[in-house]
Amino acid sequence: MTRALIVIDVQESFRARPLWETISNPKIGQQVDRLVRLARQAGELVVWVLHSEPGSGDVFDPALGHVRLMEELERRDGEPLIHKTSHNAFTTTNLQQLLMERGIHELTVCGIRTEQCVETTTRVASDFGYQVTFVIDATATNPIPHRDAPAGQSVAELLADPRTLGAEEVIRRTEYALAGRFATIATVDQLEAAAGPGA
């Protein structure tokens, strides 16, 4: 086993935010579950990552109960669960040590948000020498406000602002930025097809 699937921040915290109604892929949990099944069938390590901001009082504060896997996902015994407090999954965790101890050289990454925690983890992993596959349709994100947009915009205001960068454009730009530099871009269908019948 030299490959691991890293599932990043596919957690109920995001569903607890009003912004969830703008998510690019509301069925992200189903896509991720397909990848998890593929990894398990291949005998690969599955690593679950949750974003946590203790004491923040928001949806990422573990005290509020939202920092848990989305309900359609199930972690098995023996599959590591790590909590991060930075954008990438390495800086504030023991992920690098965990992967090195298991002789992992290749990573498949997926999760929320495409351009933030998933992309940042991919870039750091690439710099560490891992071969990374970024599963573009097993990621999700939201529209991004312009840097000069007022703080505390409502969802309606965000969507009405012509300067807002739409979620699909964010995903497209992420794909272009990563491909051939930091990762191989793939879809869930492609990975299932490569795994062959019965996957």
Determine the Cα–Cα distance for residues 83 and 35; give it in Å rounded to an integer. Answer: 21
The per-residue pLDDT for 196 is 84
Tokens of 30: 């189903």
Determine the Cα–Cα distance for residues 177 and 180; give it in Å rounded to an integer. Answer: 8
Tokens of 152: 């505390």
The per-residue pLDDT for 197 is 76
Label the pairing between strands 81-84 and 45-51.
Answer: parallel
Side chain identity at 107, as an amino acid letter? Answer: L
Strand partners, 131: 106
* Strand arrangement of the beta sheet that strand 184-186 belongs to: 81-84, 45-51, 3-8, 106-112, 131-140, 184-186
The per-residue pLDDT for 198 is 64
Determine the Cα–Cα distance for residues 177 and 98; give it in Å rounded to an integer. Answer: 28
DSSP H helices, 61-166, are: 95-101, 119-127, 155-160
pTM of structure = 0.96
User: SS3 helix, strand, coil % of the chain, rounded to 5?
Assistant: 35, 20, 40
Give me the residues of the chain with pLDDT under 50, please.
Answer: none
